[in-house]
Structure 1
Amino acid sequence: MQGPAVFMELSLDEQAQELRRYFKSLGAEISEDKSPKGIEDDLHKIVGVCDVCFKEPNEADVEAILNSIVSIMVSIPLERGENLILAFSQRLTKAPGPKLSMVALQSLWRLYNNLESNSPLRYHVYYHVVELAARVGAVREVFTGVDQLKREFANCPPSNEQMQKLYRVLHQVLKDQNSELAAKVMIELLSTYTDENASHAREDAIKCIVTALADPNTFLLDPLLSLKPVRFLEGELIHDLLSIFVSEKLSSYQNFYKNHKEFVHSQGLNHEQNLKKMRLLSFMQMAETNPEISFDEITSELQIEEQDVEAFIIEVLKTRLVRARMDQAARVVRVSSTMHRTFGLPQWQQLRTVLLAWRANVHSAHEAMNAVAATQLEYAQQQKV
């Protein structure tokens, strides 16, 4: 069997013919003869058998062949570009094993970065890049966040349906690796739905809620209730559960769990983790209106043993949701600030009051400084006289 072709200083037609010969030598059903229809037809036939190169024992040889195909692909105008790009991407996702999958990923990523920024083909390549990256644990190398993803397609935005498909695969990959980022992706997915089609996003909305509830670092859940697909779930158990985490106390969750144990477990949620999160959220709610919370109130309201109170407060402080100081001697927690569980009209009014007071203080300080400056100026003039 002959080795992989070398394409230094060959024309595109010659490269294509060498690739034909190479793939035929590996047993692929392809003619060695050049296509009378031109280089694009040659490329279609080569792409149709390109996954045969995965038989090569040396990953470097596979990479050289795939990169040769990419170099031809980005060097010619493609009248049937979408079908060709899709076929090539799908072939590469068939790469067996982690090593060859990584080689395929690198070649596909090279193709993606060599396509024009306004090319609609970039979306199709990127989708399969994510699939391959997921297989080799390298998703964070190609996806760092929703904002970065929007910038990638700023010059040629995909359709809503295409972005929804991409967000779903990203969420599936990230949910076990980075639950916080997965939740952001799912929220972005739900935001692509309108009033007209929000009712069709039921499955996505449920996944979004479950991901957010299960994420140990997500505590601000109120924004989910405003998402159109989530609003369509009102009256269902999953929406009731979300509402409890948004604004109700630990006792409400316990009653819900008592009546709907099977439902909670069917969603893949862990009851003990739910209890832990609800205790943190309930403490946040207590801290909103109580600058000083006694240990007795904590044990009663959050159903924590007295010997576990200090450990619980340490966990609260680690989240940075609440800024507080423990006074073990007085058996109280003194709260200096807390994040609000919900941010509605009362919170906006409170913020307005704080900002008005701040503005008044700044105005007073400004007037005081003017008075001091005027006094100093008058004193200086008197001294001259």
Structure 2
Amino acid sequence: MRIVAIVDASFEEQIQEVAAFFSRSRPEAERDEFIASFQPKSSAASAESTAAAEAKDGSEQPKEDAAQQVPLDERRALIEKLVAEIKDAGEGSDKDVEGAHNLLVSLIVDAFEGEEGKESELLSKIISVLSKTGSAEKNAVKYRVLSNIFNFLPPTSPLRYTTFNALLTFAASNDELELVSPSLLLLPQWLAQWQISEAQKEQCLASVSKVLNENGGDGEDQKKAYGFQLLYLRFLSSQQTSVEKAKEVAEKVIADAIRLPSIFDFEELAQIPAVQALKGSPAGDLLAILTEGSAADLKTWLGNNKSEAQRLNIPEAELDRKARLLDLAGLCAQSVSKEITYEQIAKTVGVSEEDVELWVIDVIRAGLVSGKLSQVNKSFRVYRSTHRTFGKEQWHALEERLVEWQSAISNILGTLSKARPAAAASASATKGAPAPGQNAASNGERISVA
């Protein structure tokens, strides 16, 4: 469905208004001539004819419909000429800039309805001009105009893809990704709607992943970037992409995930077909260690694949840290609602007991575990812990815990049911009896004296 802009003015008035706005970018001596060059010839001829008729018989002639006064071919020619003259966003207030562009887009869409190729060409020119870097003070209105164009287009329009890419690139070049971040959540839905090729969809996801990865800020931004990398990798897995390309992207995502300090959940990544195809390769084996291996396994891998770690640009220190924290989280996952000693933690992480508290604090900050340290007892009580993977073994452990909880609750209910009759009997025996030290009068009875 196309959004239609309703403007209560003739084509001549509209094209002159837009021309007058863009004339501000020209030398003052040229402005009048520039505006006059967009005077429709048919309108001028019609005006002269009407004036002659009125002068002849003295009566006012009815004005024809604006669209009929200016033939379609002439309207299109004037619009093309005007778009060709646009070199920048224009001068004036943000309100003026936005209004002029909205009106011009409306004119293009109205005049070139049914001519998608030409309409796309003209709108693409405007999008290209707006997405050029320039005065930072005009960035906000440029974003609004580009967003207006995006929303003006039908949901299936391929030009939405072009507009989105322009917005993304412009925001990234100005270090203002927060302006487009909320829209990224809708990108999968948009990609399903846009009438573009699979190659263009792949390119769009690759661009978003690259921009977010290069411009990532805090932990949340990094996780968002990683999420789009997973989306891109899944898309490649669903397409007839070359094996080498899928392998290259999969290895890059694995390396990026390891480098990102806030990423510890590798199970989702490991389940993507393009990643599973790496099984048996150094990168595939490394991911397997992080999902189900140990720091000791990592040490062995590094001994055999030191050059691979360098090729993937993965710092060994970050690899070692993640492996140890995941080992510690695994130990805690086996002891939820229980206490584990400093000695157990030191043995699992491979450090001295003096360093245990630092590692526990680190694993808590990573969001893998929650609990309470006891320096007096040299123990750590686990409240919650994250599993690396959740498979058959974890389901079995969960079942055992549920059975334990059920048994404990049954014992509590049994104790309460036994205590209830005794409590009721005690209450009946004491009902109505004076409290210790209380006499009959104070118990509410009257004593009469004759």
TM-score for the superposition, normalised by structure 2 = 0.67
- Matched AA of 1:327: S
For the structure 1 residues 56 and 209, does the alpha-carbon distance in structure 2 shift closer, same or farther, using more than 3 Å as the test?
A: same
CA distance in 2 between counterparts of 1:229 and 1:97 reads 44
CA distance in 2 between counterparts of 1:270 and 1:317 reads 22
How far the C-alpha of 1:154 sits from its partner, in A, is 6.4
Q: 1:378 is matched with which residue? A: none
- Matched AA of 1:165: Q
How far the C-alpha of 1:322 sits from its partner, in A, is 1.6
Matches within 5 A, 1:274-285: 274-285=319-330
Matched, 1:189 2:236: no
CA distance in 2 between counterparts of 1:37 and 1:55 reads 26
- Matched AA of 2:204: L
Matches within 5 A, 1:150-165: 150-152=188-190, 156=194, 159-165=197-203
CA contact (8 A) 2:150 2:160 kept: yes
- Matched AA of 1:184: G
Q: 2:180 is matched with which residue? A: 142
How far the C-alpha of 1:20 sits from its partner, in A, is 5.3
Residues matched between the structures, number: 361
- Matched AA of 1:238: A
The equivalent position to 1:328 in structure 2, one of 362, 375, 385, is 375
String of CA shifts for 1:71-100, please: whole Å, max 9, x gaps.
434555252233333333223222325334
Q: 1:243 is matched with which residue? A: 288
Q: 2:107 is matched with which residue? A: 72
| 5+ residue gaps, structure 2 | 1-6, 41-70, 422-450
% of aligned pairs identical?
25
Matches within 5 A, 1:180-219: 180-192=223-235, 193-194=237-238, 196-197=240-241, 199=243, 200-219=245-264
- Structure 1 stretch 211-220 or stretch 330-339: which is displaced more? 330-339
CA contact (8 A) 1:74 1:115 kept: no
For the structure 1 residues 212 and 55, does the alpha-carbon distance in structure 2 shift closer, same or farther, using more than 3 Å as the test?
A: same
Matches within 5 A, 1:336-375: 336-352=383-399
- Matched AA of 2:26: L
Matches within 5 A, 1:227-242: 227-242=272-287
- Matched AA of 2:322: K
CA distance in 2 between counterparts of 1:38 and 1:278 reads 70
Q: 1:43 is matched with which residue? A: 79
Matched, 1:103 2:146: no
- Structure 1 stretch 165-174 or stretch 82-91: which is displaced more? 82-91
How far the C-alpha of 1:262 sits from its partner, in A, is 4.5
CA distance in 2 between counterparts of 1:255 and 1:98 reads 53
String of CA shifts for 1:249-291, please: whole Å, max 9, x gaps.
1233234334444443443433333332222111112223345
For the structure 1 residues 20 and 57, does the alpha-carbon distance in structure 2 shift closer, same or farther, using more than 3 Å as the test?
A: closer
- Matched AA of 1:26: R
- Matched AA of 1:339: T
Matched, 1:271 2:271: no
Larger of the two Rg values belongs to structure:
2
Q: 1:26 is matched with which residue? A: 26
CA distance in 1 between counterparts of 2:10 and 2:81 reads 18
For the structure 1 residues 198 and 328, does the alpha-carbon distance in structure 2 shift closer, same or farther, using more than 3 Å as the test?
A: farther
Q: 1:296 is matched with which residue? A: 343
- Matched AA of 1:15: Q
CA contact (8 A) 2:132 2:170 kept: no
